[in-house]
Structure 1
Amino acid sequence: MKHSHRILIFATFAISVGLLPGCQKADKSKSESVKPAKVEKLPVETDLATITLTEDANRRLGITTAAVAEREVIRRRTLGGQAIVPIGKTIVVSSPLAGIVTRSGDQAIPPPGTRVAVGTPLLSIKPLLSAERDVMTPAEQVQLVGARANLMAAQTVAAGDVDRGNAEVEGAQIAFDRASKLFADRAGARRAVDDAEAQLNIAKSNLAAAKERDKQLKELLKMLDVQSPDGEVTPLPMTTPIGGLVNRVDISEGQTVASGTVLFEVVNLDTIWIRVPVFVDMLAEIQQDEPAKLVSLSGDTLPHDVMANPIAAPPTADAMSSSADLYYEVDNSKLALRPGQRIGVELPTSKKASSLVVPNAAILFDIYGGGWVYAMTGERQYTRNRVSVQFVDGDEAMLAAGPEVGTKVVVDGAAELFGTEFGAGK
């Protein structure tokens, strides 16, 4: 019994020793077959970017297309400009004599920023006379009365000349109309029409001269009214010679000022200049005689196209920034730009180059900034193609690379195709 038990133990050991190399070989082959990484070959990009729509889906998306064109384009460079007040549009008004600042009537002195019209009295100056000049001497009073009488007589004659000029113009106009009608009816000569027209022009010239003479005499009479009946000095109104905005007020009501003291400043911003600093090495590329387009500082277009015309201005430059200035003039009635405000300016370059042109609405951008368009490759079949955008001009995009000329690209519905391809909205 013991002998048979020993034989069984030995047999079992022998079998275990014999199977051990075989297990080690199987485990070794299994470990060698497992790889640390697995690389799967992805499909071609164009296989993923082709969309075929049903007739109903194509109609619901409202797909519209436009053909890729190629033409000569002028590239524009967007630089930053600064609005400045044009030369001659800033008026500084000073006091012509020593006096006290008072209101003009019941109107208070307007604060800076107030819009005023040309000829508006902003304030008045009550003259200060020296002690010996407070009361005129009898001789001076006689001279003043005589001068006023002479001016009044001359002004009466001038008023009569104005009335006579009006009558002469009316008579000459009637004669001209009669001669023109006779000539139109072939009952009069051309010479009569010319003579009547000449007489009419002479009468109009005489009337204009009479009105101007009457106006000057009235102004002289006002200048002689230096004193009111009660003996007080009449305030001198200070009017603005131009319309615009009150930019600065350097005095206050009741202040005593000397002759030549600055009272206020008015600026006219109906038109404004745009100063554009340009790097000196770029000046040769800019078409300095062509209009520039104003855009926002980000490069986006303004609500309406605004073109700025180049103007002749003093040559200025900045050595620290190695830039020279270009000046443009623009209508500021709608822009309402303020002096010192920054704005983008698209300057046309002198280099023309051939470029592919597509509508800007056809361009799509992925999350990595890559540009794409959907090209129509078949009936209701659209393939996404990569494009390289050089620059955008209005509603058009200029491409450095893209589909061939004549290829139809999707304009309306491109974003919907993009969402359909990548499952947006599901």
Structure 2
Amino acid sequence: MIRTTSLLFLPLSALVMLGACSQQGKQSSSPPSHGEVVAHETELVRLTLKPEAVKRLGIETTRVGAGTAALARETSGEIVVPNGTGGVPTGALSNLAQIGASQASADGEVERTRAQVRLARIALERASRLVAEEAGSVRARDEAAAALATAQAQAQVAIEQRRLLGPAVASLGNQSRLWVRVSVAGTDVAAINRNASIIVAPLGTTQGGRKGTPVQAPPSANAVAGTVDLYYALDNSDQFWRVGQRVGIRLPLGKTQEGLSVPASAIVRDIYGGEWVYLQTAPGNFIRQRIEALSSGQDGAVVIRGLAPEAQVVSVGAMELFGTEFGVAH
């Protein structure tokens, strides 16, 4: 009775506090968040085709085998004009107007020195004839010979200076041989196989890739960005490349990695760049499986994640299955 009386006469604020504590106890017993299990992505893309559908789509499968791929690094580069004898290659960032003015001045200097050589040769021939006729001095002949040698040296210097400026600006668009400049971080230069060729392709596509061979070029780097420039030669006899064009580069590294080999036709890519293959789990049953390809070419691809050895993948008709799954006609 005493307990009941004391509880009845508790202040109103204490009762409010007791109620709040009781409510907090109820709230703390329920978790602040919860997760809901959804279907796995492989369960969302399971396809079951009848034999006639498999035949109509031309589905063919192959067994996954072991493969080895050379490691490479994807980067970008710029098409530039090679120099003649050691000058800096001409690219899109070059001041073409300034280069054109320098070339015009250098061309004029070459012609001037050649004219001096012709004049000095005439003077030497005249002095030599006078000496032969005993009408001139040997000293005058020797001075004429020295003047000719000096004019020839000046002409050679002018020619070399002109070569350093590269081909004429007007002919930059029809060069049969171009270079590609690749800027590589200074910390990554040692990992690149400098003696191996690279693959050059237009940006945004894997088609049209061509081989570039390493060349010796004058050292150039960007101290602010911490990059070193590497140069590779490209055949441009068909005018495929343009000076200043940005291209995709596949730089070979000096390492290889083992994986699983699948045909290139087995890989499909979604709009986000994800790579997939279709696994055959049973006759007429196919599952879209996400993979990670280390390297991919026309001959095949090496997969390092997402596949198990001896798995059956769709080698012909993968795009048809992709269209069947999403209702897109192929």
Question: Normalising by structure 1, what TM-score?
Answer: 0.46
Check whether the contact 1:301–1:394 (CA below 8 A) recurs between aligned residues: no
Secondary structure of the residue that 2:259 maps to in structure 1?
A: strand
CA distance in 2, matches of 1:342, 1:41: 46
1:381 maps to a residue whose letter is N
User: Once the two structures are superposed, what CA deviation does each residue of 1:357-405 show, in whole Å capped at 9, x if it has no partner?
Assistant: 3233322345665433211222233233232334534453332312222
Matched, 1:76 2:72: yes
Q: CA deviation at 1:328?
A: 1.0
Aligned counterparts, 1:58-137, within 5 A: 58-88=54-84, 93-94=107-108, 96=111
CA distance in 2, matches of 1:281, 1:54: 55
Q: CA deviation at 1:282?
A: 0.8
Q: CA deviation at 1:339?
A: 3.3
Secondary structure of the residue that 1:333 maps to in structure 2?
A: coil
- Count of residue pairs brought into register by the alignment: 228
What does residue 247 of structure 1 align with? 169
What does residue 378 of structure 1 align with? 282
Secondary structure of the residue that 1:315 maps to in structure 2?
A: coil
Gaps of 5+ in 1: 1-38, 99-124, 126-139, 144-240, 249-264
Aligned counterparts, 1:150-161, within 5 A: none
CA distance in 1, matches of 2:245, 2:273: 32
What does residue 189 of structure 2 align with? 283
Check whether the contact 1:246–1:267 (CA below 8 A) recurs between aligned residues: no
Q: 1:75 to 1:299 in 2, by over 3 A?
A: farther
CA distance in 2, matches of 1:277, 1:266: 22
CA distance in 1, matches of 2:253, 2:265: 25
Matched, 1:353 2:235: no
Q: 1:402 to 1:86 in 2, by over 3 A?
A: same
CA distance in 2, matches of 1:374, 1:328: 39
User: Once the two structures are superposed, what CA deviation does each residue of 1:95-151 show, in whole Å capped at 9, x if it has no partner?
Assistant: 7359xxxxxxxxxxxxxxxxxxxxxxxxxx9xxxxxxxxxxxxxx9xx9xxxxxxxx
Secondary structure of the residue that 1:278 maps to in structure 2?
A: strand
Q: 1:266 to 1:389 in 2, by over 3 A?
A: closer
Q: 1:389 to 1:306 in 2, by over 3 A?
A: closer
Please identify the structure whose Cα radius of gyration is greater. 1
Q: 1:247 to 1:49 in 2, by over 3 A?
A: closer
Gaps of 5+ in 2: 1-34, 88-102, 116-125, 130-162
2:78 maps to a residue whose letter is Q
Check whether the contact 1:374–1:414 (CA below 8 A) recurs between aligned residues: yes
Aligned counterparts, 1:18-97, within 5 A: 46-88=42-84, 93-94=107-108, 96=111
What does residue 300 of structure 2 align with? 396
1:348 maps to a residue whose letter is P
1:79 maps to a residue whose letter is T
What is the aligned-residue identity percentage? 35
Q: CA deviation at 1:411?
A: 2.8
Q: CA deviation at 1:348?
A: 0.3
Q: CA deviation at 1:414?
A: 1.8
Secondary structure of the residue that 2:66 maps to in structure 1?
A: strand
Q: CA deviation at 1:319?
A: 0.3
What does residue 269 of structure 1 align with? 175
Q: CA deviation at 1:41?
A: 6.6
What does residue 295 of structure 1 align with? 201
Q: CA deviation at 1:46?
A: 4.6
Secondary structure of the residue that 1:411 maps to in structure 2?
A: strand
Check whether the contact 1:245–1:268 (CA below 8 A) recurs between aligned residues: no
CA distance in 2, matches of 1:339, 1:414: 39
Check whether the contact 2:67–2:302 (CA below 8 A) recurs between aligned residues: no
Check whether the contact 1:356–1:402 (CA below 8 A) recurs between aligned residues: no
1:74 maps to a residue whose letter is A
Q: 1:321 to 1:51 in 2, by over 3 A?
A: same
CA distance in 2, matches of 1:71, 1:359: 11
CA distance in 2, matches of 1:339, 1:421: 44
Secondary structure of the residue that 1:93 maps to in structure 2?
A: helix
Aligned counterparts, 1:207-246, within 5 A: none
2:107 maps to a residue whose letter is V
Q: Which moved more, 1:326-335 or 1:281-290?
A: 326-335
1:417 pairs with 293, 298, 321, which one?
321
Question: Normalising by structure 2, what TM-score?
Answer: 0.58
Structure 1 stretches of 4+ moved >4 Å: 39-48, 89-92, 265-268, 365-370, 422-425
1:52 maps to a residue whose letter is T
2:286 maps to a residue whose letter is Y
Secondary structure of the residue that 1:340 maps to in structure 2?
A: coil
Q: 1:289 to 1:45 in 2, by over 3 A?
A: closer
Check whether the contact 2:69–2:295 (CA below 8 A) recurs between aligned residues: no
Q: Which moved more, 1:50-59 or 1:359-368?
A: 359-368
CA distance in 1, matches of 2:173, 2:274: 49
What does residue 255 of structure 1 align with? none
CA distance in 2, matches of 1:79, 1:392: 16
Secondary structure of the residue that 1:281 maps to in structure 2?
A: coil
Check whether the contact 1:245–1:267 (CA below 8 A) recurs between aligned residues: no
Secondary structure of the residue that 1:417 maps to in structure 2?
A: helix
Q: 1:73 to 1:342 in 2, by over 3 A?
A: same
1:96 maps to a residue whose letter is E
